[in-house]
Structure 1
Amino acid sequence: MRKMIAIAATLAVVSTQFAYASSDAAWNALLAKANGSCIGQSRMDTPEASAPVVFDDSIGKVAVLLRGSIGKNKSKVNLLCLYDKKSGKASIEEFRWLGK
């Protein structure tokens, strides 16, 4: 009887941990929102986007690197986008790789 109770308790603890894990659909939705917000805010014609980099929950951000041209200039620019998971807002800044 004690074995049955111990097994049941263990299964209950293990199953509650899995209940809080995000599903693949939830991750895909988050990454689609991050990419969409970053690309939309970049004002680039047809940007190349990196795979999103997801920081842990204490940071709450997703980073996306974008490369493309903006407006009539047509010279390539590099942008770093930080998407806030909680607010759904994206912040974008231009960056230069190692001074180039």
Structure 2
Amino acid sequence: MLKNAIATAIGLLSLAPLANASSDGAWNALFAKANGTCIGQSRMLSPEATAPVVFDDATGKIAVLLREKSQKTKKMVNVICLYDKKSGKASIAEYQWGQ
């Protein structure tokens, strides 16, 4: 009886992490929202975007790097977007890669 109780407890504990895991569909929806918000705020027409970089839950942010060739200057414009998972808001900043 004790063996059965221990085996049952171990079985239930091994399934506990699965109950809290997000589905692929939920992650894909979150990434689509982050990309859409970031692209919209960047005002770029058709940028290249990296795969989302997910920070830990304490940070609560997703980063997306975007780049596009400027129509005016013909130079590459690079921006980083930090998307806040809780508020759904994004912050955009331009950056330069090397000199």
Question: Would the TM-score normalized by the shorter structure come out above 0.5?
Answer: yes
User: How many percent identity over aligned positions?
Assistant: 59
**Matched residue pairs, number?**
98
Tell whether the 8 Å contact from 1:38 to 1:92 is kept in structure 2 after alignment: yes
Tell whether the 8 Å contact from 1:46 to 1:69 is kept in structure 2 after alignment: no
After TM superposition, where is structure 1 displaced by more than 2 Å over at least 4 residues in a row?
72-76
Superposed, 1:34-53 pairs within 5 Å as: 34-53=34-53
Q: Does 1:4 align with 2:14?
A: no
> TM-score normalised to the size of structure 1?
0.89
User: Could you tell me how far apart the structure 2 residues matched to 1:41 and 1:69 are?
Assistant: 17
Consecutive unaligned residues of structure 1, counting only runs of 5 or more, are none
Q: Counterpart in 2 of 1:66?
A: 66
Deviation, structure 1 residue 74? 5.2
Letter matched to residue 7 of structure 2: I
> TM-score normalised to the size of structure 2?
0.90
Consecutive unaligned residues of structure 2, counting only runs of 5 or more, are none
